Each structure stands twice: as C-alpha cells, then as structure tokens.
Structure 1
C-alpha cells in the first residue's frame, strides 16, 4: 500500500520524480564559505532556449499590456482636463475589447478601431496582441510536454529542497550543465527587493565542457528504481527486538510512550556507482538518534538498594566462575 505522502488529494499516485524528492535529500558537495553567495531575497533557475523564449514572450506581453495601461491613463487625464464629466475606465474598456478578440466575439479590424478610440495613436503596438498570446500559449505547451524542460523543472525543485543556507549557485550551475552539456544555459534570477527578473547567458569560456552521459544502463536503472529506491510496504507483523535489554522496560508500553523524548535526524547520504552498482556513504553525513537521559527517580520501595547490591554480587560471582572455568 502506498505511503500517504505519495498520494495526491484526488487519490492518484505521484510521479516517481516527486516521490523521490519526498524521501531523498539533495547531495551537497563541500564549498568554501567564500564562494557562498550573499544572502538575498531571490530565486535562481537555470534553463535552456525554450525557457528563454518563454520568459521573453512573457516580458513582451507584459510590456504591451503596461503600455496600454499607461496610455489609457494619459488619455483619461486629457479627458478630465477638457470635460467636466467623469471619464470612463479606459483601461477596463481596452481589456474588455481584448477578451472579445480572444474569445471570437470580435475580429481584428474592430479590435484595432477600439484601440485607436480608447488609447490613440500609440495603440499600434497592441494590434498583434492575439498573435503574441497565441505564441506564448504554444511555447508554454511545448515546455510542459518536453522531457528535457521537465528535467530542468525537477532540478529546480531538487535544488530548492535544500536547507536554507546550503543553496550554492555554482553547484546548481554544474548540475544544469550535466543536463545541458552542449546547449545554451540561461541563468534566470527573480528578485523581490526590488522586483526584477534578470536573464543571463552563461559562458563556458574557452574550455568546452565534456559530454556527460546522462542515460543509465537499463539493468542499472531497474536495480536503482525497483530495488534500491523502492518504497517497502509496511509489514503487518512486528519486527524483532533490536535491543533486548530494553524489552523489560518498554514491552507493555505504548509506542508513543516508548518513543517519548527521542531525537531523530536523518542526514546520512550515499552514492552509487553506475558501472559496479556499489553503494558507499558520503563523508561527513550521518544519522543521529538520541534520547535525553531521564533523571533517576528516588527509590521508594524499602530494600531496593539491597536488591541492587545482590544483583551486582551475582554478576561478580558469575564472572569469577567464568574466569576459573577458562583457566
């Protein structure tokens, strides 16, 4: 039975790429503190030509809509200066005309006439808005269905799942180069203070990056996904006692009571070799299990100290018998 975290709200199974992110932490290589970027409120995404075209089309659409809003506001001020009556919302009229064009209620000729009447001579940049929106939607569909573009989106989610302060731009760029070894790589950064989107074409310099094989052998892929990374269903029977000396203490207690005070930190990472399928642990990573020692309660029963001394004496006697029998 699938884990509750592996199922969406409608009951469908999540894809493996998303389930992988739920169970596995991204690996982080050691980077000197001097190479860490300064803390800033921004998000970085590395994309290819498809994402560059998508963002450029979005930028062009935003600029044209902004132009319509600015020019309609200017026309409203002129109307207010020449007439005593309050002007209508020209920008709302323009958006209504645009929606009518997109849903087929009007044609391009009527839309152009409406733009001239609402905005004026600066409306010529708006005549092809329907074609621009069509190209933007087609490009969005291309990105959504392309395998490489989806891998880049998964890589972004992979890097974003790192702990705060462990995101390193250099590592993110190198991971993108693994996927886009012979393609253009664009660094797309979105800043919120101030609000700004910057796009930078990354330069490989004089050294062309080596081609890195990103496809896996079918047998190795089957072992990785079906055996090594598979989600083992919960067994109905209870597992055996690992530390038997704790059996008398927690055998009759509830599980939540037995786990009270436990501190568990899963930080152990491992790497696997594609050619030999050998698994090795990553240095400086570990799992941490700790339960603070409870304060020793004051013994209430009479003779408890005497019982402890008797137990110690029996252990000493058994130890001496063991020594005498081995000599």
Structure 2
C-alpha cells in the first residue's frame, strides 16, 4: 500500500532537500562504521605506532566509535554559531579523511530545509494542499499492485483539484511505500489548453476563409477553388498573425 501526495514546487523542494540531508547523514554513519572496523582490525594485527605513543599523529582525541555522535554535535555547534566553518571542516578531515567533504555543506542544506518549511507553513495556498491530502479520502491506497477503477478515479479527481495550485503547469506525484521503505517521485505536466477555445479558433478561421472564397469566386478558376475548399474541409490550423 502507498500514500499518494500531489505537490507543487515548494513541497517538492522541501522533500528533495530532506532526502539529500538523510542521504548525507547515512553516508557519514556508514563511514564511521567502516572506521570502527578498520580501527578494531588494526589494533588486533599490529602494535601501537610510535607516532600515536608520542602524540604526533593528526588524529583527534575522540574515540573512533564516537565519531558519528561527535559529528552531529559539531553540526549543532555550527548551526548555533558556536563553531566556525573552517574549524568544522578541519575537524571533519581529521576524523573522516577524504570522505569529510560529504558533510561540508550540511548547515546550508539544513538552512534551506528550514526556509522551505517556513514557506510551507506561512503560505495559505500551501496549507490548502496539505488539507487536500489530509482529507479522509484524500490519499489513494494500492494493495498487491492491483489498481482498481475507483482508486484511479479518486486519483484523477485529486489531481484535478491540485492543478489549481500547480507552479508553471507542473505537479509532482509523490508515492510513499511504507512497507518497502521507499518514496518515488514523478513529474506531471498539466495541460492548460482549453479544447473549446481551440475548436472555436479553428471554426472561426474556416468561416473566414469560406467567406473570402465565396466573395472572390470570380478571381479563381474552378480547379483552384475546388482545391482550396478541399483543404478547408480538413479544418487546417490557422496561426495568429502579429504585425
């Protein structure tokens, strides 16, 4: 089963930044686990180096198994202004080596997340999007990959309601699969053209051409008139002329 959420640009930017933040936290956590394994392996297979005994190594005075928690504390201190960016980056290099670059812009990602979240909370149109999603029948469920007709109709109605909040004729369809622990996103281009207006333009153009031919029959031979009328019966598209 999945939960369906149609969103505009603001919501999409927030979800994308949140995903980026989670990915980088996961990478730093995985790297800290690898460093713990390397540390345990080196302690078993070789004696303590002279540089470590003489305290000449560049490694920080933090146990390897506390690297990740220390990293989170440094991010908090950086956001609170208790740590400058250069010290933050230097400390990360000492702990994580060449993999530290992943977390260099962590504060910027968090700031942008907060900015987007603030826009979502304060904008009335964005609040309306959340109300549409929060209705009892506002989400579409999918069970065993069987998409019933009623579910398709519910999704189509939900999308039509959301089209009024689209940014630049585009929506994003976000599906959250709880059991699979995954989220999918797809772009939907909203067709803003009006079929009635299109038909009216074609009819007006055809009417004008027919009236012109009828009033100027003497200026063309029968073959030319027949060919022009045959083309008009195909309802060609007349382009607007701009002078």
Report the TM-score, using the length of structure 2 for normalisation: 0.62
Residues 74, 172 of structure 1: alpha-carbon distance in 2 compared, 3 angstrom cutoff: same
User: What is the aligned partner in structure 2 of residue 51 from structure 1?
Assistant: 11
Tell me if the contact between 1:93 and 1:118 (Cα under 8 Å) persists in the aligned partners. Answer: no
The answer to whether the aligner puts 1:112 opposite 2:89 as a matched pair is yes
Q: CA deviation at 1:65?
A: 0.9
User: What is the aligned partner in structure 1 of residue 42 from structure 2?
Assistant: 82
User: What is the aligned partner in structure 1 of residue 113 from structure 2?
Assistant: 136
Tell me if the contact between 1:43 and 1:191 (Cα under 8 Å) persists in the aligned partners. Answer: yes
Q: Which has the higher helix share?
A: 2
Tell me if the contact between 1:187 and 1:200 (Cα under 8 Å) persists in the aligned partners. Answer: yes
Q: CA deviation at 1:106?
A: 1.1
Deviation sequence 1:292-313 (CA, Å, 0-9, x none): xxxxxxxxxxxxxxxxxxxxxx
The answer to whether the aligner puts 1:152 opposite 2:122 as a matched pair is no
User: What is the aligned partner in structure 1 of residue 70 from structure 2?
Assistant: 93
Structure 2 gaps, min length 5 = 49-62, 142-147, 196-243
Residues 139, 182 of structure 1: alpha-carbon distance in 2 compared, 3 angstrom cutoff: closer
CA distance, structure 1, for counterparts of residue 162 and residue 193 of structure 2: 12
Tell me if the contact between 2:2 and 2:176 (Cα under 8 Å) persists in the aligned partners. Answer: yes
The answer to whether the aligner puts 1:72 opposite 2:36 as a matched pair is no
Using CA pairs under 8 Å that are at least 6 residues apart, name the structure with larger relative contact order, 1 or 2.
Answer: 2
Matching residue within 170, 179, 202 for 1:193: 179
Structure 1 gaps, min length 5 = 1-40, 212-327
Residues 102, 59 of structure 1: alpha-carbon distance in 2 compared, 3 angstrom cutoff: same
Q: Secondary structure at the match of 1:185?
A: strand
Give the total of aligned pairs.
169
Alignment root-mean-square deviation, CA: 2.6
CA distance, structure 2, for counterparts of residue 151 and residue 117 of structure 1: 47
